[in-house]
Structure 1
Amino acid sequence: MGPPLAVAGPQGPWQQVLDTLAEHGSVIAHGLLADWIPADPEGPGLRRMLGRDWDRYHAMRHPPVRERFAASRLLLKHVAARVLHAAPHTVELAYHAGGRPFLRGCDQIGISLTHTEQLLMVGVTRRGWIGVDAELADRPMLRSGIERQVCTPYERTVLARVDESRRNEELVRIWTLKEAYSKAIGQGMRFRFNEFGFGPSGRPVRVLRPDGSPGTGDEWSFGTCRVADRYTTSWALYDAGFGDTRDTAAATMLDEGLVAALTADPLDPYAVTAGRAA
């Protein structure tokens, strides 16, 4: 699928995103929080952009949480808008029972969202399901003893063989893969992480049973890479086997009357911008 692409605000680069989507049927984009913070956090433009998420956003009392929530939705809506050939404010997010976001009325498109510290990242696919996750590469996980709760017996054996200087880095990689896979299948943290696992670095990545035997087939693909020199990012992609839905324009997938209602007034005076106000 290729590594995540940097998107430094609403200006893009969007052609690179569209080219990657055309080539692979999936794309992952990441941005920095400062580039996506809305210029007017209480303005009508942001309210219109967030849509149904506005009340949830407005109820948040902790400013950093509010900023990250708004910025991540702006990034997701701008990426999705390019895929759908629609205006960002017309993209409507909804949520499954487990909290996984989806594009209302566009079931052919799979999406995923993650954010940590200053990093925002979204994944979009036309092939099936996608999950993305990111963590600080040096997050101290081993010292917390978390591997005893989230790793399978096989993974603990593999970790014990890794040089101590790299062991925490390897655990962060495994953790992000678990998060990405669980997001892709719509389970999140409800799926116990010690019931599935992954093998060591340097081997083809696939889901493994607790004893290390294969748990999935070729319909799943995974990847991990470092982003912005500070973050370990992973993704999980499930190919549903229906091919690439190349025509993803909202005008094609949605009812004509609904499209007209959503895309009315293209010169919206409340168009939202991102980035801190001067």
Structure 2
Amino acid sequence: MAGPTSTMVPGTPSLGRPILVPGPDGPWDDVRAALARAGAAVVYGRLGDWLPDDPDDPRLQPLIGHDWGRYQRMAHAKVRTRFVASRLMLKHTAAAVLESKPELIELAYRPGGRPYLRGCDQIDISLSHTDEIMTVGVSRRGRIGVDVELADRQMVGLGTESQACTPYELAMLEAMAEHRRNGALVRLWTLKEAYSKAIGQGLRFRFTEFGFRLSDPRAQVLRPDGSPGTGEEWSFGTCVVERRYTVSVALCDSGFGETSDVAARTMLDDGLLSALIGLADAV
């Protein structure tokens, strides 16, 4: 791996490594503490820990919400497994942060597929998964994007460099020792994925149009020639979890200050909140 940082985002005070959440029971206090301390948090979980005993149990429908029909139409077993586990983890994380119930959290999707919490604009979320690991980013500071890949995923020599790197990055990789290039390319890829998710573009934003300098103590987006492409409002970082997964995050401070209290009961009208809770209890 090419110089993974010890903290997830060096430029953001106190945002430490991703927090392992092995199931619906948390530890959610740790997640809320991270959010209170740094305005953002990144959590990760293992696929097997989040799989329900019976993935087709109709009692899951209130938790999956509007995605239930989409989920039921999925034919590929692995795709269905990842979908249900990742949505459960995402909704439980959002519920913990909002001090609400996961069945009250409504996921919606922007053009391109980026998830968001309907009716909760004060909180931004991001989701990524690969192999047996899922990651969720949550922020009350502004936009957030996360991405996870196998740290030893083979990328060098497969044409990925020409599809994903700027001329500046190609020169940077070429100058590296050969045994470091693949890890560096994985890190570059996850940083680009995280940034693209944060700005809502995903893979529609050509990776050859922006890049990173891995030697910087605080990474920033660069133009293809290596000149700065973003300002101080953006923070980036990378680390390795479970000793085999590279996780990167992109975090934007919107400059409007933090929402100090993001509990659903203080953001929603009391009458509406009572009605929603009543509906959930009746399900």
TM range (shorter): over 0.9
Superposition pairs of residues 154-165 of structure 1, within 5 angstroms:
154-165=168-179
Superposition pairs of residues 180-219 of structure 1, within 5 angstroms:
180-201=194-215, 203-219=217-233
**Counterpart Cα distance in 1 of 2:183 and 2:272:** 48
**Counterpart Cα distance in 2 of 1:252 and 1:221:** 29
How far the C-alpha of 1:64 sits from its partner, in A, is 1.1
- Secondary structure at 2:157 match in 1: helix
Aligned to 2:21: 7
How far the C-alpha of 1:185 sits from its partner, in A, is 0.2
Aligned to 1:88: 102
**Counterpart Cα distance in 2 of 1:187 and 1:98:** 7
CA contact (8 A) 2:218 2:235 kept: no
Look up the equivalent residue of 1:212 and give its one-letter code: G
Q: TM-score, normalised by structure 2?
A: 0.92
| Residue 233, structure 1, aligned to residue 251, structure 2 | no
**Counterpart Cα distance in 1 of 2:116 and 2:87:** 12
How far the C-alpha of 1:262 sits from its partner, in A, is 2.1
How far the C-alpha of 1:186 sits from its partner, in A, is 0.2
Unaligned runs of 5+ in 1: 271-278
Look up the equivalent residue of 2:130 and give its one-letter code: T
Aligned to 1:34: 48
Task: Select the residue among 25, 28, 53 that pairs with 2:39.
Answer: 25
Task: Select the residue among 154, 157, 162 that pairs with 1:143.
Answer: 157
Cα gap change, 1:257/1:40 in structure 2, threshold over 3 Å: closer, same or farther?
farther
CA contact (8 A) 1:173 1:234 kept: yes
Look up the equivalent residue of 1:170 and give its one-letter code: A
How far the C-alpha of 1:219 sits from its partner, in A, is 0.1
- Secondary structure at 1:233 match in 2: strand
How far the C-alpha of 1:203 sits from its partner, in A, is 3.3
Q: Deviations over 1:123-177 (max 9, x none)?
A: 0000100000000000000121211111000000000011100100000000000
Unaligned runs of 5+ in 2: 1-14
**Counterpart Cα distance in 2 of 1:80 and 1:243:** 20
Aligned to 2:10: none
Q: Compute the RMSD of aligned alpha carbons.
A: 1.3
How far the C-alpha of 1:266 sits from its partner, in A, is 6.3
Q: TM-score, normalised by structure 1?
A: 0.94
Task: Select the residue among 187, 193, 218 that pairs with 1:173.
Answer: 187
**Counterpart Cα distance in 2 of 1:63 and 1:172:** 27
CA contact (8 A) 2:239 2:248 kept: yes
How far the C-alpha of 1:40 sits from its partner, in A, is 2.0
Aligned to 2:12: none
Aligned residues: 269
Q: Deviations over 1:204-224 (max 9, x none)?
A: 200000000000011000110
Task: Select the residue among 114, 127, 151 that pairs with 1:100.
Answer: 114
- Secondary structure at 1:122 match in 2: strand
Q: Deviations over 1:70-112 (max 9, x none)?
A: 0001111111001111011111100011211000000110000
How far the C-alpha of 1:265 sits from its partner, in A, is 5.9
**Counterpart Cα distance in 1 of 2:280 and 2:60:** 16
Look up the equivalent residue of 1:183 and give its one-letter code: K
- Secondary structure at 1:181 match in 2: helix
Aligned to 1:222: 236
Look up the equivalent residue of 1:191 and give its one-letter code: F
